[in-house]
Amino acid sequence: MNHISNQDKQIILDSIRDIPDFPKPGIIFKDITTMLSNAKALNTLMTHLEKRYKSYDLDYIAGIDARGFIFGSILADRLGLGFVPVRKKGKLPYTTVAEKYSLEYGFDEVEIHIDAFASESSDGKGAKVLLIDDLIATGGTAKAAANLIDKVGAECVEVCFIMELAFLHGREGFTAPVYSVIALD
């Protein structure tokens, strides 16, 4: 497996801004907008992801609304693959499949087009898909998105996060392997 070097990890970490008490007191929000505007950090991250996934024989990259769209689109372009958005409920214009997930107080839903993965993989099975997002905390949204990929007949071969809040144990319960570029304890 291709893991990121400590030097490259530090370049990325140094470009991410901490915002204390956002969105509520006691939370330290990891603001990736500063990484996105840092050409060296963004290129370091995307070069790592490209090297890691170029041998996976993927058919598609799927990204979770909204920051997963950024990383997923760039990676799909670098790998010469199609990109599929996993959106919040009510944002996709065609027939969709939905999956609910739990929030602290209630539920939310994500959707994917029913025909999002039109092609089969080279082995004749469902399309091989990498799911990507910026951060995993409790993992509810990503687990729902991974389930959607399977529901529409594709195979989620791995779930990738730029950062993982490991102390929240969000990676537990996935059926696909989970990779995080940076894990924070």
DSSP string, 96-158: EEEEEEEETTEEEEEEEETTS--SBPTTSSBPEEEEEEEEESS-HHHHHHHHHHHHTT-EEEE
pLDDT of residue 1: 60
> Which parts of the chain have pLDDT scores under 50?
none
- Give the burial class of 172: count Cβ atoms within 10 A of its Cβ; 0-12 exposed, 13-18 middle, 19 or more buried: exposed
Burial class of 89 by CB neighbour count within 10 A (0 to 12, 13 to 18, 19+): middle
Q: Is 37 exposed, middle or buried (0-12, 13-18, 19+ CB in 10 A)?
A: exposed
pTM above 0.85, yes or no: yes
User: Which pLDDT does position 121 carry in this prediction?
Assistant: 63
Residues 6+ apart with CB under 8 A from 123: none
pLDDT of residue 124: 64
Is residue 109 within 8 A of residue 95, CB to CB? The reply is no
* CA dist., res. 94 & res. 130, Å (int): 22
Residue type, 49: L
Phi, psi of 78 (to 5 degrees): -65, -30
Query: Annotated catalytic sites, by residue?
Result: 67, 104
Confirm if 63 and 85 have CB atoms less than 8 A apart.
yes
Residue 36, Cβ neighbours under 10 Å: how many? Answer: 17
For the chain, which domains are there? 57-184 (3.40.50.2020)
